[in-house]
Structure 1
Amino acid sequence: MIADTPAADLSPVHFIGIGGAGMSGIARIMLAMGLQVSGSDAKDSLLLTALAAEGATVHVGHDPRQLDGVRTVVASSAVRDTNPELARARELGLQVLHRSAALAAVSSGRQVVAVAGTNGKTTTTSMTTVMLQHCGLDPSFSIGGELTESGTNAHLGSGAVFVLEADESDGTFVVYRPQVGVVTNVQPDHLDFYGTAEAVEQGFLEFARSIRPGGLLVACADDTGSARLAERAAAEGIAVRTYGESDGADVRLDDLVLDQSGSGFEVWSAGRPVGRARVNVPGHHNALNALAAWTAIVAVGVAPTDALAAIGSFTGTRRRFEPRGSAGGVRLFDDYAHNPGKVAAALQTARQVAGDGRVVVVFQPHLYSRTKDFAVEFGRALGLADEVVVMDVYAAREDPQPGVSGALVADAVPLPPEHVAFVPSWSAVAGAVRARVRPGDLVLTVGAGDVTMLADELLALLGGSDPR
């Protein structure tokens, strides 16, 4: 892995899986830097069309001939060694970079704010970016989701700050050398890579150790894993600033008032009141995410009161409790949540937004390994809903595992059997959901796979249309 290669020395660059959320963002930034960019993906998508319009050469399907003239190949951990382009790149002796190393290259020379955490990093990265923009800065950014405000997941800015989402899934988030490292929480996930919860915590400690000398770790005091990280980092001499509702937090959220469209709260820093803020996206967790973003942008020089006013400028991120429309008296939302903590947070938000209405959730498990490891925890989280429909596993990069299916999750939901259904056939899911809903309900589709595509069909069955 090469973390310090100047981006200009990488061109021409070819991305394997260029249509992915993270890969497409890096490609966009390289295009804005004037680099020659090409890429391939297994299937066509709107992202590929957008990248082509921005100057990239894009291909549907993987073919070694697409490497002609290429100097550097970028691949993520999801790309298998048997991929024909990756195998050919190694045969030719081309420079092969992991996605994280490519992102480190384009962020080199900037004041990096890297946002990590098992849950909430996309939203917190987005909030940090939008708040900096509201304060008149033009940060560069690379996010694993599209901002509602600008409709993009990446931008090469003119300012000194580069905000990026630091993915912990394969341990490569240690390459960014940030000035400010944010950790929203540390919980067991990606055990297919880490093996144990203890190894996950060690991975986040390595991330904290990667912060530049004189930099700052911003860690949530309310999450036990993040709080332990803060203690271990401080013991090693790393500067730490904690945030949360806990009495001992350096930056504290107080007098929280939640409503269906967001929340209001007081911000205290170093034992003194800063003022009251408003977050215009619902959910208790989003109030904490906003506090993390406030702490981060103050750390890079934004005045505390300006940062406070900027919190209200954020309006959301695609696929993070995203409104998808309403019909027949039913409101539909979509969320990318794919581990138990995220699913629980999404359903807690749904409860808040639904008011007196019922919550109907459609959950698509993501990865066989995660489903096997956390079926009970997923079931417990889904029990926060009134009606549960569980789809079969979205395999993504994995092969099927004997005995592992969405039925494991459905069986673990602590609701009466008549309120839980396992529907393994994708084409049957919308009808199964339609049979369960009634006016006043809130329907939430959840998962990191193609469950998001159900929104169109559900709205059509309910008599409406997608507002986008």
Structure 2
Amino acid sequence: MKLLGFQKYKKIHMIGIGGSGMIGVATILQKRGFKVTGSDLTITGELNELKKLGAKVQIGHEPKLIKNADLIVASSAISKRNPELVYANQSGLTIIPRAEMLGTLMKPYRSIAVAGSHGKTSTTSIIASIFNAANLSPTYVIGGQVLSVGRSSNLGEGDYMVVEADESDGSFLHLQPDVAVITNIDNDHLNFYESDQNKLNQSFVSFAENLPFYGHILLNLDNVNIRKISKKIHRKQITFGFSAKNRFQISNVHIKNGTQKFKLVDHLNNKKNYKFATKLSGKHNLYNVTAAICVALEEKISIKNIAKGLDDFKGVGRRFEISNIYIDSKTQVVIDDYGHHPAEIDATIQATKEKFPREKICMIFEPHRFSRTQQLFDDFVKVLSKVDYLLLLDIYPASERPIRGVSSRKLISEISKNHKNTYLMSGANPIDWLQVNHHQFSVIITQGAGTISKLHQKIQNKWQ
């Protein structure tokens, strides 16, 4: 097993250990022989699995577990007023952000980091699946549950480590991968970047420049913001997308029996054609799959193993995750999706219409953050008008304070000017509404990044 440079820090305490980015890091540390403790507000299934490995996890943020720690790792979601963080600061303990620990774990490996506004989790997971198919046994840390294994991380035995790089708080600048991917850059998390798209774009340049001189970066040149920054990146670039300006061009896309089949043309290699297929739906997933394929090709993985990795891939939890329920003996398709930006919601809707072209759609959406709802208000109005029925939940604050004049009521008031089947669920139970109205549609989408996953589970429990 590869040696790490911080072996003397035996006891590591993680504040916010159950977060999507934290749990994977905690699991890798525990499996590497460190004594991991942590705290969070609830115990999840993955935290229970971590406890079985020997980690100690407490509910709440009392500083009792922190007192014997050598090192503190804090989630970016943790307030500076958190009592554990206050105690750690007063005690002079070393405190680092989650991304710095992730970057340190990556150092002994040939590392691959996937960044971008959308598609990071799926792309990272697909890369891991391909590398597993090639018997490379990668270590990976991902921001969602890989459905085939039921967890978000794995300590492999090989030389590769594949991780998701989070730009939302600038923490991805702690990473120094050998290979990087930027899937796209959109107008998300702008509150951290002072509502300045140029500052967000520049952060991706800085991320790319963190690569060593011998590294390379894969860029989706179809994306307008990536095109803007590509000339500022002084590392080898490998481009992919639908445009012929990319080195790897996606073409001849067609759907057969629910499978997307396509060709990939390598314009740098005598226009060599590769044929691939994926069970994932939507154009956005063709970008994700292609990014993973290009990473694998550059690592000299065979076409046979790439195809096997794509076929083995079962998806990621809450990323267009499809299941069936039965209401009054009628089969309903339920799609659960984490997307909370208008572009992600639009991708979900388009993929649903592609997979179920003649079916009516009911979307239950929980807006995420007051600031995002305010900044992208018109975009939300436009995209949420594309479904047949809309149930809108209250805004999930995600530690933000309310902003005057920003609410789900205002959002649905605007949508309902041109869309009659819109319903505000503030204080109402969506399950009761579904029981009465389910005969009007056959596809239900639970969309968002807050507590809506719990609603999805309640729907499953009632009608599965």
Partner Cα separation in structure 2 for residue 414 and residue 165 of structure 1: 38
Partner Cα separation in structure 2 for residue 119 and residue 414 of structure 1: 28
Q: 1:199 and 1:435, CA in 2 relative to 1: closer, same or farther beyond 3 A?
A: farther
Deviation at 1:38, TM superposition (A): 0.2
Deviation at 1:308, TM superposition (A): 4.1
TM-score normalised according to structure 1 size: 0.93
Q: Is 1:391 aligned to 2:390, yes or no?
A: no
How many equivalent residue pairs?
A: 456
| 3-state SS of 2:438 partner | coil
Match of 1:229 in 2: 229
Partner Cα separation in structure 2 for residue 442 and residue 260 of structure 1: 19
Match of 2:443 in 1: 442
Give, as a single letter, the amino acid of the residue that structure 1 aligns with 2:246: A
Deviation at 1:406, TM superposition (A): 1.7
Match of 1:215 in 2: 215
Q: Is 1:25 aligned to 2:24, yes or no?
A: yes
Match of 1:72 in 2: 71
Deviation at 1:228, TM superposition (A): 2.2
Q: Is 1:265 aligned to 2:266, yes or no?
A: no
TM-score normalised according to structure 2 size: 0.94
Partner Cα separation in structure 1 for residue 384 and residue 93 of structure 2: 46
Deviation at 1:391, TM superposition (A): 0.6
Give, as a single letter, the amino acid of the residue that structure 1 aligns with 2:189: H
Match of 1:125 in 2: 124
Q: 1:102 and 1:451, CA in 2 relative to 1: closer, same or farther beyond 3 A?
A: same
Match of 2:151 in 1: 152
Match of 2:206 in 1: 206
Q: Is 1:142 aligned to 2:103, yes or no?
A: no
Give, as a single letter, the amino acid of the residue that structure 1 aligns with 2:276: A
Deviation at 1:257, TM superposition (A): 1.0
Partner Cα separation in structure 2 for residue 260 and residue 422 of structure 1: 37
Match of 1:245 in 2: 242
Partner Cα separation in structure 2 for residue 91 and residue 31 of structure 1: 26
- Report which stretch shifted further, 416-425 or 31-40: 416-425
Partner Cα separation in structure 2 for residue 396 and residue 325 of structure 1: 30
Partner Cα separation in structure 1 for residue 25 and residue 288 of structure 2: 24
Unaligned runs of 5+ in 1: none
Give, as a single letter, the amino acid of the residue that structure 2 aligns with 1:352: E
Partner Cα separation in structure 2 for residue 304 and residue 174 of structure 1: 33
Checking the alignment, whether the CA contact within 8 Å between 1:255 and 1:266 is kept in structure 2 is yes
CA RMSD of aligned residues (A): 1.9
Partner Cα separation in structure 2 for residue 14 and residue 47 of structure 1: 17
Match of 2:89 in 1: 90
Match of 1:12 in 2: 11
Checking the alignment, whether the CA contact within 8 Å between 1:257 and 1:265 is kept in structure 2 is yes
Give, as a single letter, the amino acid of the residue that structure 2 aligns with 1:66: L
Q: Is 1:45 aligned to 2:48, yes or no?
A: no
| 3-state SS of 2:161 partner | strand
Match of 1:324 in 2: 323
Cα deviations by residue, 1:318-354 (Å, 9 ceiling, x for unpaired): 0001123221221111000011111111111111122
Deviation at 1:453, TM superposition (A): 1.6
Give, as a single letter, the amino acid of the residue that structure 2 aligns with 1:252: Q
Q: 1:66 and 1:186, CA in 2 relative to 1: closer, same or farther beyond 3 A?
A: same
Q: 1:415 and 1:284, CA in 2 relative to 1: closer, same or farther beyond 3 A?
A: farther
- Report which stretch shifted further, 177-186 or 400-409: 400-409
Q: 1:434 and 1:198, CA in 2 relative to 1: closer, same or farther beyond 3 A?
A: farther
Give, as a single letter, the amino acid of the residue that structure 1 aligns with 2:52: A
Match of 1:61 in 2: 60
Deviation at 1:412, TM superposition (A): 4.0
Partner Cα separation in structure 2 for residue 302 and residue 459 of structure 1: 39
Checking the alignment, whether the CA contact within 8 Å between 1:324 and 1:455 is kept in structure 2 is no
Deviation at 1:7, TM superposition (A): 4.0
Cα deviations by residue, 1:343-387 (Å, 9 ceiling, x for unpaired): 111111111122211111111011111111112212212222111
- Off by >6 Å, runs of 4+ in structure 1: none
Aligned pairs for 1:338-377 within 5 A? 338-377=340-379
Partner Cα separation in structure 2 for residue 324 and residue 358 of structure 1: 16
Deviation at 1:150, TM superposition (A): 1.0
Q: 1:187 and 1:39, CA in 2 relative to 1: closer, same or farther beyond 3 A?
A: same
Q: 2:410 aligns with which of 408, 411, 414?
A: 408
Checking the alignment, whether the CA contact within 8 Å between 1:367 and 1:396 is kept in structure 2 is yes
Give, as a single letter, the amino acid of the residue that structure 2 aligns with 1:255: N
Partner Cα separation in structure 2 for residue 383 and residue 259 of structure 1: 29
Q: 1:184 and 1:13, CA in 2 relative to 1: closer, same or farther beyond 3 A?
A: same
Checking the alignment, whether the CA contact within 8 Å between 2:360 and 2:443 is kept in structure 1 is yes
